[in-house]
Amino acid sequence: MLAAARDLTGGAVPSDGDLRTLDLPIGAVPDGALKPGTDLTARVLSGPVRSGEPLTDARFLGPVSVPPGSLAYPFRIDDADITALLRVGDHLNLYAATSSAAESADLLARAVRVVALPNPRTTSSGALIVVATTPDVATRLAQATTNSRITVALTPDTS
């Protein structure tokens, strides 16, 4: 089966150099294990993977992760520490707030699902979150990120 040859970040598309073959006893091979020769050129990791970790279909974004009529939309939040509270599959309400005291935060979307949390890079520019959302919400998010601070609130699972 395939395994990570080195630590990989969430949101990455593994190349041949990122992979190695792992021999496991038949009873130890997990369901959905990816076999050598599997084409991963269009598959995106949903989260970080450690060196030597077996790769299964569940480690990648796929049609199940992004429902029909939706798209995977990446956006950056200012407070990178918030991502430590999040897990793939969580549902979030998204808010846009400006620095003006006269304005309040606007609700951009309700219960959007987190589909990937790429590993944070060593930067002070916040953290990236990828959500499955409608094109309309993606448009509102794109507009809001140009002049607002985006923040999130965890919501109950709505699946």
Q: Is the pLDDT of residue 65 over 70?
A: no
Q: Where in the chain are all domains bearing CATH 3.90.1210?
A: 2-61
pLDDT band at 11 (very low <50, low <70, confident <90, very high): confident
pLDDT band at 93 (very low <50, low <70, confident <90, very high): very high
Place of tokens 């076999």: 35
Q: How far are the Cα atoms of 17, 40, 72, 123 from residue 13, in angstroms, in the given order?
A: 11, 7, 15, 21
Report DSSP letters for 103-131, one per residue: S-PEEEEEEEEEEE-PPPPS-SS-EEEEE
Place of tokens 């991963």: 40
Output 100 or 127, whichever has higher pLDDT: 127
pLDDT value for 159 = 55
CATH number of 2-61: 3.90.1210
Count of C-beta atoms within a 10 Å radius of residue 145:
15
pLDDT band at 62 (very low <50, low <70, confident <90, very high): low
